[in-house]
Amino acid sequence: MTFPTLRALFACFCLTLIAACADPQAKTPDAYASFIDGDITLPEVPPEYLEAPNRRTILPYEGEEEPGTIVVDPYAKFLYYVEDDGTATRYPVAVGREGRGFKGEGVIRRKEEWPGWTPTANMLRTEPEVYGPFARGIPGGVASPLGARALYLYRGGKDTRYRIHGTNDMESIGNANSAGCIRMFNQDVIHLADRVDLGTQVKVRSYEESVEIEGVEMANRGQELPPKIVNPDIVYAAVADQERLRVMRETQRKLEEEEKAEEDG
């Protein structure tokens, strides 16, 4: 079964339609293809957002962190998961605009699948034109800014309010665009979340560390993008459509169970 209405709304909401000048022969790598996650169809990542180095890869790790550590480089716009064999899985990310990002160290104390989102009081106060229309929150699903998974960063036993999470704003990956959180392609955050245990240590590199390990050019990768103004009518239409589809699926599931029970009886 396909759901064109939700997919169309999602495409409008994300503003990630394929550009007219895109290579017609370009193909999305399998790691970023569309697939069904639970009851939700995850859209593919268009190829133009996956040009190197903006895609997941495994490479020799040059840092000193222990295996199992998450290392975020907000300057090169990469997140590393350190492996046991001297390598690391590197994911492209989007980070907070200047002065807004998470710094230092933290610990993953909570994980959620398809989390809902509500703007914080600080977001509503400082950028009401961006976040005000969504003050009531957005439930989990393709319309939620937190995407498919969220890893919650704690420090000193307290929630920092910063997250490593998915996104429906694929254009932002490789740039500085968020209110402070670390964004990943949904396919990547699912891949990471499946491997990360609660208690995982997270370290954020300094600029000096980024230059030393990545080089000057890579340590200045990407650009700072302005906040994206999104039409709330499109978002909440997608939310309503998603709920209708959920009800339809649940109704179909119950009918199938009843039919099977009658056959067995």
Q: Determine the Cα–Cα distance for residues 19 and 227; give it in Å rounded to an integer.
A: 21
Of 12, 14, 21, 165, the catalytic one is: 165
As a whole number of angstroms, the distance between CA 148 and CA 40 comes to 9
Burial environment of residue 165 by CB neighbours within 10 A (0 to 12, 13 to 18, 19 or more): buried
Buried-exposed string 228-255: b where 16+ CB fall within 10 A, e elsewhere: eebeeebbbbbbebbeebeeeeeeeeee
Number of other residues whose CB lies within 10 A of the CB of residue 27: 9
Whole-angstrom Cα distance, residue 185 to residue 196? Answer: 16
Q: Which of 12, 14, 21, 181 is labelled catalytic?
A: 181
DSSP annotation of 172 reads: G
User: To 5 degrees, how large is the angle CA 182–CA 127–CA 207?
Assistant: 35
Q: What's the residue count for the chain? A: 265
Largest Cα–Cα distance in the chain?
A: 71
Asked if residue 201 lies in contact with residue 153, where contact means CB atoms within 8 angstroms, the answer is no
Is 181 known to be catalytic?
A: yes
Q: Are 28 and 47 in contact (CB under 8 A)?
A: yes
Q: Tell me which residues are annotated as active site.
A: 165, 181
